[in-house]
Amino acid sequence: MSTAVVIEAPGEHRLTSHDPRQPEAGEALVRVHAVGICGSDREVYQGNRPEGYVRYPLTPGHEWSGTVEVVGTGVPASLVGRKVVGEGFRNCQVCDRCHAGETTLCTAGYEETGFTEPGAMAATLTLPARLLHVLPDDADLTAAALLEPAACIAAAAIKANALPGERVAVVGTGTLGMFAVQFLKAGSPAELLVVGTRNDREALSRRFGATDFRTKDQQLPEDFDVVIETAGSASAARTAASLLRRGGRLVLTGIPAPGADGLDPTDLVVRQLEVHTVFGAPPDAWAHTVRVFAAGLLEPLPLVTHELPLAEFPQAIELVGSGDPKVGKVLLRP
């Protein structure tokens, strides 16, 4: 029997039978191979996600990979049988921000797979085919399930615009941080520093291309051209800003708790820092991620530590929030 996870309300979930929804015009039905769990899914389950950014009852799952099984009218039949990943933001395509390619800023309002629309913690997922990105035929679908967080970091890398030979740094050593190291390494930096809280992440950081690793309580340099912050705390944002030279470029991807103390505006102005933020990934970042993945420049699999069946959703949620340093990326397999 096909199954799906449904979160009825904060703290309440059930495993239910799943009937695939046949695709309408412009849609595709995807057989889900694997779906990742991140802190946002834990927020949905605990009821901590901001109002307007979740709609219950809900099948979660915004990080996924799969294979197209059926397409609706108006969708090329050649998609059937192809391995794919897909964008999460359900943009309107007609507002000025969508026309500018900034689909994560769609003025029609926030809609996203796994948060306000049914997600991939089910045997199948039906979604607009325009959101799909086709993978090479020999792509590893387990690795590809991590391309959604990779795409968010690709958006950060594009905004950072790190040039070959620049000195770059990453603050945070979770999934996003390790992808940031890989994207920045591909740009041939002169130096690539990783700053974290756990010494056990040094080996993986260096495997992905870091030339230096320090914990935040060690002495840190102050003259980097580009810093990408991925830790999601106010202190991490301040640490990231402190690493920059005058006129340096900072990209924030983490989301601290509401009301957190932020960066010092006087410091930003006096040092003329260039600050960017990322929330989700627009199409260009997704396309860039798929190209980089296909070229063999991303290694998602070393980040995966647990693969569980869909029925073990509550155990997976506990793992993600356990704080255990041995827990990396957790995948569910429908």
pLDDT digits (tens, 9 = 90+) for 224-250: 999 999 999 999 999 999 999 999 999
Q: Binning pLDDT at 50, 70 and 90, where does residue 257 land?
A: confident
Task: Give the SS3 label for residue 202.
Answer: helix
Predicted confidence (pLDDT) per residue in 274-319, tens digit: 999 999 999 999 999 999 999 999 999 999 999 999 999 999 999 9
Cβ neighbours of 190 (radius 10 Å): 12
Listing DSSP states for 162-182 in one string gives PPTT-EEEEE--SHHHHHHHH
Instruction: Kindly tell me if the per-residue pLDDT of 259 is higher than 90.
Output: no
What is the CA angle 134-139-145, rounded to 5?
75
Residue 255 or residue 189, greater confidence: 189
How much of the chain exceeds pLDDT 70, in percent? 100
CA–CA dist 108, 186 (Å, integer): 36
Instruction: State whether residue 286 is helix, strand or coil.
Output: helix
Mean pLDDT of 180-201: 96
β partners of residue 192: 168
Instruction: Say whether pLDDT at 210 is over 80.
Output: yes
pLDDT(273) > 70: yes
Mind giving me the DSSP string for 22-64?
PP-TTEEEEEEEEEEE-HHHHHHHHT-SPTTS--SSB----EE
Q: Is 192 helix (H, G, I), strand (E, B) or coil?
A: strand
Mean pLDDT of the residues in the chain: 96
Tally Cβ neighbours within 10 Å of residue 276. Answer: 16
In tens, the pLDDT along 1-28 reads 689 999 999 999 999 999 999 999 999 9
Percent of the chain's residues with pLDDT above 90: 93
Per-residue model confidence (pLDDT) at position 138: 97
Q: How many other CB atoms sit within 10 Å of the CB of residue 272? A: 9
Cis peptide before 128 (omega within 30 of 0): no
Residue 173 makes CB contacts below 8 A (sequence gap 6+) with 194, 196, 197, 198, 201, 204, 205, 231
What average pLDDT does the segment 41-53 reach?
93
Residue predicted with more confidence, 217 or 138: 138
